[in-house]
Amino acid sequence: MAKMKAVQVVEANGPLEVVERDVPEPPEGHVLIKVQACGICHSDSLTKEGLWPGLQFPRVLGHEIAGVEDWQQGQRVGVGWHGGIAATARIAVTATSCFARRRSSQASATTAATRNTWSRRRKRWRASPTISPTSMPPRFFARASPRSTHCATAARAGDVVAVLGIGGLGHLGVQFARKMGFETVAIARGQDKAPLAKQLGAHHYIDSESQNVAEALQALGGARVILATATSGKAMSATIGGLGLNGKLIMVGVSDEPVEVPITQFIMGRNSVQGWPSGTAADSQDTLAFSALSGVRPMIEEYPLSRAAEAYDRMMSGKARFRVVLMPGK
Ligand SMILES: NC(=O)c1ccc[n+]([C@@H]2O[C@H](COP(=O)([O-])OP(=O)(O)OC[C@H]3O[C@@H](n4cnc5c(N)ncnc54)[C@H](OP(=O)(O)O)[C@@H]3O)[C@@H](O)[C@H]2O)c1
C-alpha cells in the first residue's frame, strides 16, 4: 500500500503530529486529490479541540484544499467545507481531512480552478492556470463564506456594509465588499489593523476598543449588512445598534456567547439576524471567477507540513496576516 505524510491529532485537544498513513482508496463517487496547499481556518479548532459533537480520533484536520486529481491529468481542483451539494455542515466536518499529501473527496464537493468554463462532454469545470494553488485554499472557504453572504443579502452598490473581525475571513470580506461596490467599513480591535484595512479597500475603519461601534455605524447612515467574522458573540451584539433600516447582521464567526437582540429596534428598523455556513462547490466556483475578475487576493503565510503545529498556533494567535497555508510538498 502506498504511503503518505499526514498531520493528525490523536485525541481532543492533543498536539498535532506528523505521521505516515496509507494513501486512501477513493470509494465510488469520490476523487483522489494530491494536496498542494491547505489553509488553516479558525474552524479547524472545533475539530482539534474536539468541540464538534461526535468526532472520532485520531483524525487528520483541514478543509481548505487545493490540489490536482485525475478528472484530467494535472487538473487543479479545490474543496471547501461542504461534503457535497446537499451535505450538511455535520457531514462536512466528518469529511474533512486535508493536512496530508493526499485526500479522497466527494466529487460533488470538488471545484476546478476555472473561470466558468463548463465542459459538456465531461460534465465538469475546465481548469485554468490563472490562480495559484497557494492562494486557492482561502478562496474556497474563507472566500466563499464572505462572498456568498454578500451575495445573499439585498444590499446594493453604495450601501454601507461592515465587516467585523479582520482575520482570515474578514480580510477577504472587506475586499469583496469593496469590489462589489459597497461603502465598506472594517471593524477590529485596536489601531494595529487600520492601515491594512484601508489597503484592503475599506472606506472606513472602526476601532472597537476606543469607539462605540453602533454609534460609529449610525454616523455613516446605518449598516445594511454587518458580516460578523469575529469569534465573539459579545462583539457581534455591540454592532447591532449600528444596523440601518432593513439592516441584517450575518453571523459567520463561531462563538458560544449568545447574541442579544433589541426587539423594539428590530421591529421598527425591520432588522434581522442570520447565520451562514460556507458556500457550496458552485459558490466556490463563482468565488474563484469573481476573484480572478476583480483581483481579490488573500494575504497568506506559507508553512511546510512538518511545521503544522507551529502554523496552527500562529493562526490561533491572531497574529497571522491573514491566512496560514500548509504546503505538503515542501
Ligand atoms: N460560517 C462559516 O462558513 C465559517 C467559515 C470559516 C470560518 N468560520 C468561523 O469564522 C470565525 C473566523 O474565522 P477565521 O478563520 O477568519 O479566524 P481568524 O483568522 O482567527 O480571525 C478571527 C478574527 O476575529 C477577530 N476578533 C475576535 N474577537 C474579536 C472582538 N471581540 N472584536 C473584534 N474582532 C475580534 C480577531 O481579531 P484579533 O486579531 O484582534 O484577535 C481575528 O482577526 C471563526 O469562528 C471560524 O470558526 C465560519
Domains of the chain (ranges; CATH) run: 3-140+279-327 (3.90.180.10), 146-275 (3.40.50.720)
Could you tell me which residues come within 8 angstroms of residue 39 by beta carbon, excluding any fewer than 6 positions away? 62, 64, 137, 138, 140, 141, 142, 168, 300, 323, 324, 325, 326
Q: Whose CA is nearest to atom 21 of ligand 1?
A: 167
Distance 227 CA to ligand 1 centre (A): 11
Distance 133 CA to ligand 1 centre (A): 23
CA–CA dist 177, 201 (Å, integer): 8
User: By mean pLDDT, which of 123-137, 138-152, 239-253, 270-284 is the weakest?
Assistant: 123-137
Confidence at residue 134, expressed as pLDDT on a 0 to 100 scale:
65
Q: Is 52 in the pocket of ligand 1 (CB under 6 A)?
A: no
CA–CA dist 186, 57 (Å, integer): 38
Distance 111 CA to ligand 1 centre (A): 25
- Identify the band that residue 223 occupies on the pLDDT scale cut at 50, 70 and 90: very high
Question: Which is more confidently placed, 148 or 92?
Answer: 148
Could you tell me which residues come within 8 angstroms of residue 212 by beta carbon, excluding any fewer than 6 positions away? none
Give tens-digit pLDDT for 50-91. Answer: 998 888 999 998 888 887 765 666 667 777 665 444 333 333
Q: Which of 155, 143, 141, 151 is nearest to 185 (CA)?
A: 155
Across the strands, what pairs with 7? Answer: 18
- Identify the band that residue 145 occupies on the pLDDT scale cut at 50, 70 and 90: low
Distance 77 CA to ligand 1 centre (A): 26
CA–CA dist 142, 253 (Å, integer): 11
User: By mean pLDDT, which of 131-135, 254-258, 292-296 is the weakest?
Assistant: 131-135
Taking the alpha carbons of 94, 98, 103, 108 in that order, is the dihedral positive or negative? Answer: positive
Give tens-digit pLDDT for 101-136. Answer: 666 666 656 665 543 343 444 444 444 445 566 666
Confidence at residue 110, expressed as pLDDT on a 0 to 100 scale:
62
Confidence at residue 205, expressed as pLDDT on a 0 to 100 scale:
98
- Beta carbons of 277 and 149 less than 8 angstroms apart: no
Q: Whose CA is nearest to atom 22 of ligand 1?
A: 167
Confidence at residue 292, expressed as pLDDT on a 0 to 100 scale:
87
Ligand 1: which of 46, 51, 52, 169 to mutate, most ligand atoms within 8 Å of CB?
169
Could you tell me which residues come within 8 angstroms of residue 311 by beta carbon, excluding any fewer than 6 positions away? 40, 301, 303, 324, 326
Question: Which is more confidently placed, 154 or 73?
Answer: 154
Q: Is 141 in the pocket of ligand 1 (CB under 6 A)?
A: yes
Q: Is 232 in the pocket of ligand 1 (CB under 6 A)?
A: yes
Confidence at residue 126, expressed as pLDDT on a 0 to 100 scale:
44
Ligand 1: which of 145, 231, 252 to mutate, most ligand atoms within 8 Å of CB?
231
* Mean pLDDT of the region 161-166: 97
Give tens-digit pLDDT for 13-32. Answer: 999 999 999 988 888 877 78
